[in-house]
Structure 1
Amino acid sequence: MHRLDTQGEICPYPLVMAQREVKKLQPGDVLIVISDYPLAAENIPRWAAEHGHRVVRVEKVGDALWEIEIEKGGVS
Structure 2
Amino acid sequence: MQAVRAGERYVLDLRGYVCPYPQLATLRALRSIEPGAVLEILTDNPPSCENVPSVVKREGHEVLAVEEVERGVWRIVVRKR
TM-score by length of structure 1 reads 0.92
Other structure's SS at 1:56 match: strand
Taking every aligned residue pair, what percent have the same amino acid on both sides?
Answer: 36
**Is 1:34 aligned to 2:35, yes or no?**
no
**Is 1:50 aligned to 2:67, yes or no?**
no
How far has the Cα of 1:61 moved from its partner? 1.2
1:20-76 per-residue CA deviation (whole Å, 9 max, x = no partner) reads 100101110010000000011101111111111010100011221100000001xxx
Unaligned runs of 5+ in 2: 1-8
- Pairing partner for 1:70 from 51, 61, 78: 78
TM-score by length of structure 2 reads 0.86
Query: CA–CA distance in 2 between the matches of 1:49 and 1:14?
Result: 15
The 4+ residue runs of structure 1 with deviation greater than 3 A are none
